[in-house]
Amino acid sequence: MAIFNCKGPIDAYCSGCNSHSIFTRYLAAKAVHTAADWLMMDRFDAAFTCGRNPSHRMIFTTKVDNVKRTMQKIGQYPSLAELSMYDVRKYGGVLAKETFQELKRAIGLAAHGVGIGSFVYLRRIFENLVEEAHQAAKSEAAKLDTGADWDDDTYQTARMTDKIQMLRRHLPDFLVENRVMYGILSKGIHELSEKECLAAFPAVKVGIEIILDAKIEDMERRKKLEGARKSIQALASANKA
Ligand SMILES: [Zn+2]
C-alpha cells in the first residue's frame, strides 16, 4: 500500500537511463486518491517519472475488488526481473559467459516465483566456483617450485564441504566459512517447497554475491599491482639511462 500514497523520491534503477536514478510520483489531474476513490475504480495505476528524463516511467498497477474490498498488485513496469538484473551486471566480468547467464536465470526465476528452479542454477554457479578453485589448486601443485601439496584422489571422493575445506587457499573466506550454503542449495532442490526456496533465495543470493564481490576485488587488486609494477620498472629503467 505504501507505494500508492508515496510521492517519492524513490531511488531505483531506471531502464531508460540504464543506471540508478531518482523517481518522483507522476500526478495526473486528480492526484490524491482516498480509499473511497479507490473503491470506485477497478484498477489503479501509480506512475513515477525519472528525474533525468520525464519520459522514463515506473508504473505499478493494482486491481481493486469493490465487492471484497481488497486490492492486489497485478503488474509493474519495468518488471521485477529487469529491476533486479541491474545489480548483477558487474559480475559479468568475473564469471564465464555461461555461468553469468545462469546467474541471471536464477534471479529471473526467483522474481517470477520459481523457487526450486532458481536453486538449481545457484547450485550450478556454486559448483562452478568450486571447480575453478580446484583447477587452480591442481595447476599450482603441478608447478614443482611452488611446493604445494595436492591429493586429487582424496579430493574427487570427498564431500562438498570437505572439498571446500581442501580448497580454502583458493576460495574467498566467506565461502569457506559458509560452506553449509551448498547443503542448503542441495536440500532446496530435493526437500524444500517452492515457498521455502523463495524465502531462502535472498540469503543464498547475497552469499553468492559476496563470493563474486571478493573475486572482483581480487581482480582489481591484481590489475593495480600489475600497473604499479610496470610503472616502477619504467621509472627504474629511466633512472638507469
Ligand atoms: Zn531515466
pLDDT in tens, 109-151: 988 889 999 999 999 999 999 999 999 999 888 886 666 678 9
Please check the confidence at residue 33 and state whether its pLDDT lies above 80.
Answer: no
Could you tell me if 74 and 102 lie in one domain?
Answer: no
pLDDT of res. 226: 95
Classify residue 22 by its DSSP letter: E
Q: Domain count for the chain, please give it.
A: 2
Would residue 239 count as lying in a domain? no
Instruction: Please provide the average confidence, as pLDDT, over all residues in the chain.
Output: 86
Could you tell me if 51 and 117 lie in one domain?
Answer: no
Ligand 1 centroid from CA 158, angstroms: 50
Ligand 1 centroid from CA 21, angstroms: 6
Please check the confidence at residue 31 and state whether its pLDDT lies above 80.
Answer: no
Chain segment 43-65, per-residue pLDDT in tens: 888 899 999 999 999 998 888 88
Could you tell me if 130 and 113 lie in one domain?
Answer: yes
Could you tell me if 197 and 214 lie in one domain?
Answer: yes
Ligand 1 centroid from CA 55, angstroms: 8
- Check if the beta carbon of residue 57 is closer than 8 Å to that of residue 46: no
Give me the mean pLDDT over the 67-95 stretch: 84
Could you tell me if 119 and 181 lie in one domain?
Answer: yes
Could you tell me if 220 and 112 lie in one domain?
Answer: yes
Ligand 1 centroid from CA 184, angstroms: 38
Distance set, CA 140 to CA 117, 144, 150, 152, 155 (Å): 35, 8, 9, 12, 15
User: CA torsion, points 189, 192, 195, 198, in degrees to nearest 10?
Assistant: -50
User: Alpha-carbon Rg of the chain, whole angstroms?
Assistant: 25
Would residue 142 count as lying in a domain? yes
Ligand 1 centroid from CA 7, angstroms: 17
Ligand 1 centroid from CA 4, angstroms: 21
Confidence category of residue 1, pLDDT binned at 50, 70, 90: low
Would residue 17 count as lying in a domain? yes
Domain boundary among 30, 59, 78: 78
Could you tell me if 35 and 114 lie in one domain?
Answer: no
pLDDT of res. 4: 62
Higher pLDDT, 161 or 68: 161
Q: Is 32 exposed, middle or buried (0-12, 13-18, 19+ CB in 10 A)?
A: exposed
Could you tell me if 12 and 74 lie in one domain?
Answer: yes
CB-based neighbours (< 5 A) of ligand 1, an ion = 14, 16-17, 21, 50, 52-53, 56
Would residue 240 count as lying in a domain? no
Please check the confidence at residue 155 and state whether its pLDDT lies above 90.
Answer: yes
Label residues 217-230 b or e (16+ Cβ within 10 Å = b): eeeeeeeeeeeeee
- Check if the beta carbon of residue 201 is closer than 8 Å to that of residue 230: no
Ligand 1 centroid from CA 87, angstroms: 16
Would residue 113 count as lying in a domain? yes
Please check the confidence at residue 29 and state whether its pLDDT lies above 60.
Answer: no
Domain boundary among 55, 78, 101: 78
Confidence category of residue 9, pLDDT binned at 50, 70, 90: confident
Please check the confidence at residue 2 and state whether its pLDDT lies above 90.
Answer: no
pLDDT of res. 147: 62
Confidence category of residue 18, pLDDT binned at 50, 70, 90: confident
pLDDT of res. 3: 59
Could you tell me if 22 and 63 lie in one domain?
Answer: yes
pLDDT of res. 28: 64
Give me the mean pLDDT over the 76-84 stretch: 82
Could you tell me if 110 and 185 lie in one domain?
Answer: yes
Could you tell me if 220 and 162 lie in one domain?
Answer: yes
Mind giving me the DSSP string for 153-189? HHHHHS-HHHHHHHTGGGS-HHHHHTTHHHHHHHHHH
Residues spanned by the domain of 49:
2-78
Would residue 235 count as lying in a domain? no
Domain boundary among 78, 109, 140: 78
Higher pLDDT, 193 or 44: 193
Chain segment 197-217, per-residue pLDDT in tens: 999 888 888 888 888 998 899
Would residue 219 count as lying in a domain? yes
Could you tell me if 48 and 110 lie in one domain?
Answer: no
Cis amide bond preceding 172, omega within 30: no
